[in-house]
Structure 1
C-alpha cells in the first residue's frame, strides 16, 4: 500500500473538547467549527454525551458521528447519541470495520463483561482519501488497520495547527493492542510506517485513551515507530 497523500495547507478553524467516558476511560472528542460539531468515538451513554455537547456548545449543530474503529468502547455511545440528537445526524465508520462491529462487541462482552449497545447501520462508509467536513474545516481519512481490520486516522490541518485523531492505533511510546479480535502486529507496524512518513512532525496526536503526544515526540521515543521506519514498512 502506498503512503497517504495529505493536503497540509491550513483550512478552517476548529476547537476540540475531550470527554473521558465509558468503562475503560475512552476519549470522546467534540470537534467544533463555526456553528457545526463533529463527534469522534462516542464511547458510552450517548444520551449523556449529547447533553454534554449541547451544554458546552449550545450553538453548534451536530453534523456527524465518526468512529475510528469498531471496538465496543468506541462505538458504544452511537445509538444513544442518535436517539438524543436525531436520526438525521449521520454515523460514519470505515467500510472494513462496519461488518466487524458485532463480533467486536460480542468479544468485549465475553472477555471483560462489558455490554455495549449495538450501533445502528452506518450512514456512510469511509476509506482512505475520503474527507469529513465540519464548519469550514476538513478531516482527511487515512486507512490505519492493525488494531482492527478497518481502523482509520482522521487528519486535520487547520488555522490552529495540525491534528490527527488516532483512535487506538498509536499510544505514547507504543501502539494499540493487537491481541484483541481483529488485531494484527505486522499490519499495525505497516500502518505506523505509513503514518510517520506522511504526518508532519508538528502534528498533535489525539489518542483513544489517556494523554496526547506529537509525531515529533514519537519519532524520538517510540521503538515500534523506529522499527517500522527502519524496515521500510
Structure 2
C-alpha cells in the first residue's frame, strides 16, 4: 500500500519497456507543458548513491537476484521521493518521472525464479511509504520494435539484462496487467513511431484530468 499525494503538485509516471519511447515523449511533454505549468522532470534510477549502483548492476547479466534488485530500487526510490519528488510537489509543480514503482513490480518479477505473486507482494511491502502517482501513462510497444529501437540507439555492450526479446515480451504482459491496478491510468500504443500523435493524445489526457479532477498545480513560473 502506498501513500496518497497530499501536496499541491501532481505526480505523473511514464512507464513502459525499454524502447517504448518514454524518453522522447517526456522531452516533448516538458517542452509543451512548461508553457502552461511549472514542470519538474525526473527519473529512476535516480542520481542517489543507490541509483548509481543500480546502473552498474543492471549491466551485469550474471546478476539475477530479484531480492537484491528490489531492495536497491526501493532504497533509491525512497531517497528519490524524499529529496526530489516531495520538494517539487510541495512547490506545486507538475512532476513527471521516467519510471516509478510499477517498473520495480514488473522488472523484479521477470528476474524471479519464484512465484510471481510472492515477489510482487514483497516489492509492494518494501515500497509502502512512497507516494501514489496521480496518473500513470504506459507506452505499449511490440517487443520486436522495441529491440530494433534499443539496438539502433546504443552500443551492444550497453544492453542490460532486462532487454532480451524473451524478457521484453513478458514485461509487456506484466506492465499491461499491473497498470490497470492504478486508480488513474492510460495505456497508449506506440508501435508506429508517430510520436506526435502519441504526444497530442497524452497532452489531451493530462489536460483533461487536470481540469476534471481540479488539480491545483502551479500555472505560472516564479
TM-score by structure 2 length? Answer: 0.36
Greater share of helix: 2
Greater share of strand: 1
TM-score by structure 1 length? Answer: 0.34
Higher relative contact order (CA 8 A, sep 6+): 2
